Structure 1
């Protein structure tokens, strides 16, 4: 671990920073390409887990007690997940068999029914009608700490399902992603809510995986979501190749949707970490942590993009993601669970993905495609850990 002195990438002003302000931490990422049946994909994931003791402890645990989760037995719990995301239980079975464990030893069964205490991030979907190259893009930063996330970009080619690429959530879910049809789905937390959930439902990353596996456009994704019990405090942005987009906001089983379409005068949608749709604003009263910080990021999105309409280009989006708060969306507050772990730009029109591992203020973007060969790559990235606390 060394001290960082100059920002080599991005737009944090290119300034010299004091040694006491940041510490440079090396963070590992992987890009894995999986293919085959869901069970075979699970077996491949088991090989990935075996490669590291920390992964073994993270993805295996004590035996799940289904009664504590509201189910009579484990089979009922398993079928609940299978109804929401067909094929996922076979994937988990492949992992369990590959590790020589009982399938009810996988912590995913619990973590995907229990809302995270803090979920952050920022994202914006831009329609082709307001971009210079007439492509539709979704750009997003995922913010958390350096220890509690998968840090895996996964290309998945499951038999009978749409191929997709995205960042994993407990390996089997997805925080964000794009499939072969150009459909993109991506989440942000709606804030920090220190309240118990009243309704049982899955965490949104389960629904995103199901959308990427089975839907072709925003219309199909919204129809699927009507059947999925989401019990979290989250925002979901959808974008498809025909320049349709939607913002879906969830609060403990309550939801609201805003759609925009080709030639819509708005031209873009975004979500940060507070509710923005009229029927959901009352829930902001329970947001105990980052309301002010979230509002500043929303203002940064608007002030950056509005003057550029209708000639927004991908570099403008990249600059927004790479510029440090409060003028942009990049954060270095890893100690508070609010450092940018990755940045990604999904091009719905071309199918290309540009992903940056680590803070985009300090790391380069790399190109990825759904056709990338099977296997696994390791990447090291820089996390510039701020010694200051998150300003809220």
Structure 2
């Protein structure tokens, strides 16, 4: 058993200054050495810049700020943080349920490859967002000021190619899209590097799962609630699934049982974060332990989030934050207890 912490960071500024402040904040954090060990020292900067210029030009400014904040060359910052042409990640699990009223999700992986950062940022030229950082610039999941919520779910590395990581895609979607349909359209255009599901919901009650591979993108919709785990459902993409999807199928079947139970936002959040829940895992050594639970209620703009085995719940009215009310929490504390 070991202590586990996540820093909470709030920044309202230009994209460059957001990067600058973020760079200064993480300068002595362990995540930098982790990223240096798992990213390539050099990528195709021309292609990376072209993709960013198309989908999120303001993030180029944020990378420049990161470069200056860390006092490292700009090209090194691009390799470390852009999420373009990132080496393969072999395993990752996530479960989400989306209703017309709320979105709830667990993220499962290893604490050794985790930024340990929850950011609320309000750029001048993009939507304000709140979510868990991945590779600093990207996001595991999050919500924006328009009431759009999104999360990633690893499927496989079939047809792996140079492209945009799923976490960078989540950041691009949250920064620029207002609705589920807007997000779908962007995810159809982004060049994906691996096979991922993207779970989406918006304040109009529209939900979808985008099943994305490097070669094809399909969209799955359904009645509320809509579940999303770690395998493709579309017949045209099922051949991209991993050989073993039993755990993913089992979690999906569990989530489908909520169809007629009418859980509230808080009840579903508590179900996901409960250590005895069928969607809470402790196999951290094999990259499958629950690290955080995040949820969002569309009607009252309420974020509820907590990290592993924590009694501390971060409860945020995000619209209040957007209009200038900062929150008081600066660190989340939890515990990693591995399965025997």
**TM-score, with structure 1 as normaliser:** 0.78
* Residue 259 of structure 2 is aligned to residue 288 of structure 1: no
* Residue 331 of structure 2 is aligned to residue 381 of structure 1: no
Whole-Å separation in 2 of the counterparts to 1:78 and 1:273 = 30
- Between stretches 363-372 and 98-107, larger displacement belongs to 363-372
The partner residue of 1:348 within 290, 298, 322 is 298
Counterpart for residue 172 of structure 2: 210
Whole-Å separation in 1 of the counterparts to 2:52 and 2:200 = 22
Whole-Å separation in 1 of the counterparts to 2:34 and 2:16 = 20
> 8 Å contact 2:225–2:259 — kept in the other structure?
no
Whole-Å separation in 1 of the counterparts to 2:304 and 2:327 = 18
- How far 1:237 sits from its partner (Å)? 1.1
How big is each residue's C-alpha offset from its partner over 1:94-118, in whole Å with a ceiling of 9 and x where there is no partner?
1111222101112435744234221
Counterpart for residue 140 of structure 1: 105
* Higher radius of gyration, 1 or 2: 1
> 8 Å contact 1:34–1:375 — kept in the other structure?
no
* Residue 265 of structure 2 is aligned to residue 314 of structure 1: yes
Counterpart for residue 55 of structure 1: 31
Whole-Å separation in 2 of the counterparts to 1:220 and 1:154 = 23
How big is each residue's C-alpha offset from its partner over 1:213-269, in whole Å with a ceiling of 9 and x where there is no partner?
111111211222232112211100111111111111112332210235xxxxx2121
- How far 1:302 sits from its partner (Å)? 1.5
Query: Residues 374, 346 of structure 1: CA spacing in aligned structure 2 closer, same or farther, 3 A cutoff?
Result: closer
Counterpart for residue 234 of structure 2: 277
> 8 Å contact 2:304–2:314 — kept in the other structure?
yes
Whole-Å separation in 2 of the counterparts to 1:220 and 1:278 = 24
* Residue 66 of structure 2 is aligned to residue 118 of structure 1: no
> 8 Å contact 1:232–1:253 — kept in the other structure?
no
SS, match of residue 92 in structure 2? coil
* Aligned residue pairs, count: 332
Counterpart for residue 336 of structure 1: 286
Whole-Å separation in 1 of the counterparts to 2:327 and 2:75 = 28
SS, match of residue 259 in structure 2? helix
SS, match of residue 121 in structure 1? strand
Structure 2's unaligned 5+ residue stretches are none
Counterpart for residue 16 of structure 1: none
The partner residue of 1:302 within 256, 272, 283 is 256
How big is each residue's C-alpha offset from its partner over 1:151-187, in whole Å with a ceiling of 9 and x where there is no partner?
2111010002111101111111111111111011111
Structure 1's unaligned 5+ residue stretches are 1-23, 128-135, 261-265, 388-392
Whole-Å separation in 1 of the counterparts to 2:329 and 2:255 = 34
Query: Residues 313, 375 of structure 1: CA spacing in aligned structure 2 closer, same or farther, 3 A cutoff?
Result: closer
Whole-Å separation in 1 of the counterparts to 2:90 and 2:57 = 27
* Residue 13 of structure 2 is aligned to residue 36 of structure 1: yes
> 8 Å contact 1:124–1:140 — kept in the other structure?
yes
- How far 1:367 sits from its partner (Å)? 0.5
> 8 Å contact 1:85–1:206 — kept in the other structure?
no
* Residue 215 of structure 2 is aligned to residue 253 of structure 1: yes
* Residue 192 of structure 2 is aligned to residue 219 of structure 1: no
Whole-Å separation in 2 of the counterparts to 1:50 and 1:375 = 23
Query: Residues 89, 64 of structure 1: CA spacing in aligned structure 2 closer, same or farther, 3 A cutoff?
Result: farther
SS, match of residue 90 in structure 2? coil
Counterpart for residue 230 of structure 1: 192
The partner residue of 2:48 within 55, 58, 77 is 77
* Residue 60 of structure 2 is aligned to residue 86 of structure 1: no
> 8 Å contact 1:178–1:348 — kept in the other structure?
no
- How far 1:47 sits from its partner (Å)? 1.5
